[in-house]
Structure 1
């Protein structure tokens, strides 16, 4: 019950976002696009920056944590590829949903991490995200380029702008800037902290509402097998791999919990936008993304209980 109550507030906010889109005054897609941009570019980076800048981090230990975490997620990429063999869909659809097997929902992750582990947990999660975002985006792009070739709608412009998009990612920039301030013990002005702190705090609630507003269920009957296999791979197999890596390579309890939480997150909402812009099967990705968010209401409490069992400290 503790695990359920940890995630219940987050999913109530997601439900609120979903219900808001059923009201005529909040149904316009343009409104939510602007709101998501506000969260991603203005509100969310201050949360990450302050958490990393003020955290008590040991760089050497963080390097080991990052190495093990990236290795575990790399194995997750392999399981996403293997899961395609169990899905009876066209190669175009299979390669379109491939990146849903190893990408992650940032807002749910930070909301739960903040509740369970506080600022230091957020700092570790920020570092892991800063490392995994460019790696996962490269792999996702390769898969989507292959999917677009299968459909005959290859998008070369998207590939040309990919490096710029990764390097200008506000999450990565905020993490790197916070890491610089932390490493050189730069004291932040009180006025700056007082301005950035409420911005960061508001990002979590608004980000979760945006997730609910973005839920899309197009054709449950058609993609039922795909959603079951894809959700099991992402929400059960990937965290199992992370748990094994944390135990075998003896990560610290907090590091183990952050890795396990990161691995247990449903896939990113941005998967749909990326797939649609590159000529993939965006309808299948929309259904799978939404299904994972819904199923994670059941799987996340399970993995939180696993954390309490294996890493009680």
Structure 2
């Protein structure tokens, strides 16, 4: 589990620096807001574009494997939304982010973890999930959040509003541009990949810093119960459902099943907070869930690997 410490320690270190800097007034709120805009508009889209164009989609695609993982993900998303709506009495936008928290994992941690655990044989399975991961969840989150903004009586304008939001969302643009270049085998000029690669390097540390600075203005105590619920769904139910589907619904190689389960057990990804903060929909809960799930994942991932027989 040394790989967990090596990756998670810089995340928590950056969070604490940002948190105390914001509390001390070294980082004013406007600076954090400006950095958040940079991350959402330029850094993350560049990172996604760069990753997609550099990693061609596998051929043939293992659909049973993808259905096992994403089928479990969407089930957990629906359950989390129901818990948020009916147990915690939250609005639809907040519930949408609760669903994303339960389904969207930190692939930044997952990639080195899978490669360190399974070696080169884990490359294809994890990249297959990464290839489908972001654009599905970001697209669904955008649709749900835009739907929540519509007033009663304005349903007829909803499809156009959603289409406009998707077409102008920088993250969706980065994803679609990367997919089009990838699927169409469109050569991307080296200066473009140099720029997107350079900007993409700033995405994760900047996003973590923004979250740390934002935590300084949130009252985390009021978000603990919902964050704990999200962690239970993300760290326990999601991998359990993935295992059941991959084992009892489909027949696949143990290696592919194990990689899917490990990825499902990853903590909440930072991009959930970016969406929640952008749409002002449960950002304190998203941030708290990300922090708590990352900490708890030291034990849950170790338990998952033990139960799968990975030593």
TM-score by length of structure 2 reads 0.74
Tell whether the 8 Å contact from 1:110 to 1:122 is kept in structure 2 after alignment.
no
Match runs of 1:71-110 below 5 Å: 71-84=71-84, 87=87, 89=88, 91=89, 93=90, 95=92, 97-104=94-101, 109-110=106-107
Find out whether 1:256 has 2:260 as its counterpart: yes
Find out whether 1:68 has 2:68 as its counterpart: yes
1:70-113 Cα distance to aligned partner (Å, 9 max, x none): 321221133214435883x5x3x365642233214999824324
CA distance in 2, matches of 1:155, 1:25: 44
CA distance in 1, matches of 2:62, 2:171: 18
C-alpha spacing 1:96/1:103, structure 2 compared with 1 (3 Å): same
CA distance in 1, matches of 2:138, 2:164: 13
| Contiguous gaps of at least 5 residues in structure 2 | 116-122
CA distance in 2, matches of 1:157, 1:187: 40
> What is the aligned partner in structure 1 of residue 289 from structure 2?
292
> What is the aligned partner in structure 2 of residue 133 from structure 1?
138
> What is the aligned partner in structure 1 of residue 25 from structure 2?
24
CA distance in 2, matches of 1:105, 1:292: 9
C-alpha spacing 1:30/1:129, structure 2 compared with 1 (3 Å): same
Tell whether the 8 Å contact from 2:39 to 2:206 is kept in structure 1 after alignment.
yes
Find out whether 1:189 has 2:189 as its counterpart: yes
More moved, 173-182 vs 225-234: 225-234
Match runs of 1:227-242 below 5 Å: 227-242=227-242
C-alpha spacing 1:72/1:115, structure 2 compared with 1 (3 Å): same
Tell whether the 8 Å contact from 1:50 to 1:197 is kept in structure 2 after alignment.
yes
> What is the aligned partner in structure 1 of residue 198 from structure 2?
198
TM-score by length of structure 1 reads 0.74
Note the C-alpha offset of 1:292: 0.8
1:31-56 Cα distance to aligned partner (Å, 9 max, x none): 21211121222122222222211214
> What is the aligned partner in structure 2 of residue 279 from structure 1?
none
CA distance in 2, matches of 1:157, 1:20: 46
More moved, 263-272 vs 115-124: 115-124
Note the C-alpha offset of 1:19: 2.0
The correspondence for 1:112, drawn from 109, 113, 127, is 109
Tell whether the 8 Å contact from 1:17 to 1:213 is kept in structure 2 after alignment.
yes
SS in 2 for 1:61: coil
CA distance in 1, matches of 2:132, 2:78: 23
Tell whether the 8 Å contact from 1:108 to 1:208 is kept in structure 2 after alignment.
no
More moved, 241-250 vs 198-207: 241-250
Match runs of 1:150-299 below 5 Å: 161-215=161-215, 216-218=217-219, 220=221, 225-248=225-248, 249=250, 250=252, 252=256, 256=260, 259-260=263-264, 264-265=268-269, 268-269=272-273, 270-274=275-279, 276=280, 285-299=282-296
Note the C-alpha offset of 1:207: 1.4
SS in 1 for 2:23: coil
What is the alpha-carbon root mean square deviation over aligned residues? 3.9
CA distance in 2, matches of 1:128, 1:211: 22
CA distance in 2, matches of 1:94, 1:268: 17
